């Protein structure tokens, strides 16, 4: 079975490019050129140099001793939280801004949920001196205020999305609307492994630096490249796609995906897409999504803005349907508790999104000799107010 995208942009039954006619020239231009551009030695050189000197890569692979003792297994954390701007998102925005420049675009738009992708986009636009517009749901603007301030400080315009659940899905709708109106000069930097082909593949390739590093780092520390499990939280699925990428064909490596169950999978307030969703089309691709029987998208809910999305990327739908990935969902309460646990056992305050991955130990028991690599996708600075309110700190 292949876990790579095929020529038509499909992972098994999922993917493709379902787009309005107005966007066809843009998406087609990108589809035709993304591999040619990104495979050029001059592109790779600039990308690698920025990842090293600007982002601070390689991010450490940290053996979490006290967390390992607590859960009686060997836990390594891939420290994407230590990247410049505080999450994995910047790996992708660096890649995409370099593509946009080569396509001659002079205006960037983006959507954001937790604000991390918005900050990472505003950052690379400042770096390159390019105009930046970020769409963000009105609710997310309130719960991720520090990131909104950062985007503004970096010179980006933040436009609130006021429709629907006023979260990530609605921000994405607004960004697509903008792109339709500005098809020539604007590049849309999608922030997850979602959207029409070639976005899921392009984003996955930029994020695959995560698993590329895990391989040599683990070899140095444990004498072998492959862990027993890789674990990541899934919103649209970009940190997960990057964490899994170089292990997809290594059948001895277990792939674990953690979604947000919100107040409980069947509470009506959840974002556990693989369990609640079925096949449909969202934001340009065919994938699993939460919808009513007549195909209206169901409003998702999660305490974490970055996981509050009713779909998952097509690679993940394929991993779910083919059985290659094990999918779990974690409630708000369990994620918050896991975030507090990491803070107090290891001195690392995680993003609430990453706390979902850390809550895997409630659902899955690992063997003492297992090596479990968890993607610590981001740091918790942006979430301090939510942690304070939740734990009455
Ligand atoms: C820290 C962090 N982790 C995870 C996510 C979820 O996104 P993805 O599934 O694309 O990795 C986000 C999204 O904003 C995030 O900020």
Percent of the chain with pLDDT over 90: 98
**Cα(37)–Cα(29) distance, rounded to whole angstroms?**
11
Burial class of residue 390 (count of CB atoms within 10 Å of its CB; 0-12, 13-18, 19+) = middle
Percent of the chain with pLDDT over 70: 100
Helix (H) or strand (E) holding 116: helix 116-128
Residue (of 301, 317, 339) closest to 236 by Cα position? 317
Catalytic residue flag (residue 259): no
Q: What is the CA(223)–ligand 1 centre distance, in A?
A: 30
- Which ligand 1 atom is at minimum distance from the Cα of 192? 10
* Structure tokens, 33: 């050129």
Catalytic residue flag (residue 111): yes
Low-confidence ranges of the chain (pLDDT < 70): none
Q: Other C-beta atoms within 10 Å of 8: how many?
A: 9
Q: What is the full DSSP assignment across 270-327?
A: -B-HHHH-EEEEETTEEEEE-B-TTSPBPPP--SSGGG--SB--HHHHHHHHHTSEEE
Q: Which domains does the chain have, with CATH numbers?
A: 20-50+89-196 (3.40.50.1100), 57-87+204-391 (3.40.50.1100)
Cβ < 6 A, ligand 1 pocket:
87, 113-114, 116-117, 192, 233-240, 306-307, 351, 353-354, 377-378
Ligand 1 atom 5: the closest Cα is on which residue? 306
**Cα(385)–Cα(390) distance, rounded to whole angstroms?**
8
pLDDT number for residue 143: 86
Residue of 351, 375, 382 best suited for mutating to test ligand 1, as the one with most atoms within 8 Å of CB: 351
- pTM score, whole prediction: 0.98
Ligand 1 atom 12: the closest Cα is on which residue? 306
Q: Is 255 left (phi over 0), alpha (psi -120 to 50) or beta?
A: beta
Q: What is the full DSSP assignment across 312-376?
A: --HHHHHHHHHTSEEEEEEEHHHHHHHHHHHHHHHS--B-HHHHHHHGGGGT-PPPTT-EEEEEE
Catalytic residue flag (residue 89): yes
**Cα(365)–Cα(229) distance, rounded to whole angstroms?**
12
pLDDT number for residue 283: 94
């Amino acid at each position: 079975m292949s876990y790579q995208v095929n020529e038509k942009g499909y992972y098994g039954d999922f993917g493709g490019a379902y787009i309005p006619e107005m966007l066809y020239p843009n998406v087609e231009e990108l589809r035709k050129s993304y591999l040619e551009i990104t495979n050029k030695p001059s592109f790779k050189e600039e990308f690698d140099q920025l990842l090293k000197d600007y982002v601070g890569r390689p991010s450490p692979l940290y053996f979490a001793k006290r967390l390992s003792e607590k859960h009686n297994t060997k836990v390594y954390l891939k420290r994407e939280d230590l990247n410049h701007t505080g999450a994995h998102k910047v790996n992708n925005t660096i890649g995409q801004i370099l593509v946009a420049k080569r396509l001659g675009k002079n205006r960037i738009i983006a959507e954001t949920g937790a604000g991390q992708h918005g900050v990472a986009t505003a950052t690379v636009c400042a770096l390159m001196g390019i105009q930046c517009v970020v769409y963000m749901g009105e609710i997310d603007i309130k719960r991720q205020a520090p990131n909104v301030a950062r985007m503004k400080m970096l010179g980006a315009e933040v436009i609130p999305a006021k429709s629907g659940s006023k979260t990530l899905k609605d921000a994405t709708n607004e960004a697509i609307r903008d792109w339709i109106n500005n098809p020539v000069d604007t590049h849309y930097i999608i922030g997850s492994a979602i959207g029409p082909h070639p976005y899921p593949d392009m984003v996955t390739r930029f994020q695959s630096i995560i698993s590329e590093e895990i391989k040599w780092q683990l070899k140095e520390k444990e004498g072998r490249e492959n862990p027993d499990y890789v674990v990541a939280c899934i919103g649209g699925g970009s940190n997960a796609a990057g964490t899994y990428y170089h292990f997809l064909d290594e059948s001895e490596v277990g792939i674990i995906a953690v979604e947000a169950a919100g107040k409980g999978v069947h509470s009506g307030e959840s974002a556990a897409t693989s369990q609640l969703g079925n096949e449909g089309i969202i934001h340009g691709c065919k994938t699993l999504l939460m919808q009513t029987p007549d195909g209206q998208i169901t409003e998702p809910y999660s305490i974490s803005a970055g996981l509050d999305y009713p779909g998952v990327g097509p690679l993940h739908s394929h991993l779910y349907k083919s059985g290659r990935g094990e999918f779990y969902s974690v409630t708000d309460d369990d994620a918050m508790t896991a975030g507090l646990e990491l803070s107090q056992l290891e001195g690392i305050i995680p993003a609430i999104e990453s706390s979902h991955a850390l809550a895997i130990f409630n659902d899955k028991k690992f063997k003492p000799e297992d090596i479990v690599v968890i993607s610590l996708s981001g740091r918790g600075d942006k979430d301090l107010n939510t942690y304070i309110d939740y734990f009455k700190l």
